[in-house]
Amino acid sequence: GSCLESVKIAIDAGYRHIDGAFVYYNEHEVGQAIREKIAEGRIKREDIFYCGKLWNTCHPPELVRPTLEKTLKILQLDYVDLYIIELPMAFKPGDAIYPKDENGKIIYHETDLCATWEAMEACKDAGLAKSIGVSNFNRRQLEMILNKPGLKYKPVSNQVECHPYFTQPKLLEFCRQHDIVIVGYSPLGTSRDETWVNVSSPPLLKDPVLNAIGKKYNKTAAQVALRFSIQRGVVVIPKSFNPQRIRENFQIFDFSLTEKEMEEIKGLNKNVRYVELLM
Ligand code: A2P
């Protein structure tokens, strides 16, 4: 229920872009929150920008549309605004989200990302997704799609880790050149959950530079980190289940960082990921 409450609070606070996925196992709550807010007259469906994701076990082209349809059924919505390939590697199809062999090793699956992409294009043509994109793709993987013979739609976005400690200067430039929006996940430096986060990289929000700049504007380090990203054209998807912090993370449109401050924050880049995706 905390996801339902958080999404409702977020919509009331002004958020419209909601980043979800089947593998977060809370799409039913997200859908319910959106539908309740529509019923209240607070928003219309077209005000919301919902992003859903195609999981690794669903890359075979014939699975793409049924998987999106399953998400729509869970959400109880007619379409998603954006549907993205969550990761550029495929796992063995089946019920196990992380299919493993007897030695506990992930079972991968032969895949042709271009064929998966064509199935994504068909979802857009069918009106089930307004736009299509990718996530965790590097330059080489993006080029594979962009150079695909007969490409119908380019990926509109690439969702990757991006924040002051991992600024992605080269990928950002490449995506700019190709009109691909970078959506930055973990924009606050993650929850530091050791089961999936590389905690050897220090906590972003404790950074002295972010805190000092925040002090000047009467903002928190989190707000400065988010402002930094949006000011360089990176979409941010901060996560919080705390009402006060959900609202705090939206209060970033009433100040701006100077060029010097932007450069100073860019200088914090460590080129180290929190989310290593070792699988
Ligand atoms: P909480 O849910 O208790 O607010 P990211 O978006 O980089 O994945 O970061 C998410 C983590 O950051 C969560 O643990 C969240 O905890 C915490 N968080 C979210 N907003 C803030 C904020 N404004 N200040 C401090 N921590 C925050």
Tell me the pLDDT tens digit for each residue of 138-165: 999 999 999 999 999 999 999 999 999 9
Low-confidence residues of the chain, pLDDT below 70? none
Is 207 among the domain residues? Answer: yes
Is 81 a member of any domain? yes
In-domain check, residue 275: no
**What is the pTM assigned to this prediction?**
0.97
Predicted pLDDT at 87: 97
* 24 is known as an active-site residue: yes
Q: What is the CATH number of the domain that holds 49?
A: 3.20.20.100
Residue at 44 is within a domain: yes
Report the number of distinct structural domains present in the chain: 1
The atom number, within ligand 1, closest to the CA of 192 reads: 14
Domain annotation covers residue 276: no
**Do the annotations mark residue 59 as ligand-binding?**
no
C-alpha–C-alpha distance, residues 51 and 174, integer Å: 22
Provide the 3-class DSSP secondary structure of residue 266.
Answer: helix
CA 45 to chain centre: 20
Compute, in angstroms, the gap from residue 186 CA to the centroid of ligand 1: 9
> What Å distances lie between residue 197 and 11, 24, 85, 249, CA to CA?
28, 16, 21, 21
Q: What is the pLDDT of residues 159-186, one digit of tens each?
A: 999 999 999 999 999 999 999 999 999 9
* Closest protein CA for atom 19 of ligand 1: 240
In a domain, 273, yes or no: no
Give the domain range for residue 71. 3-267
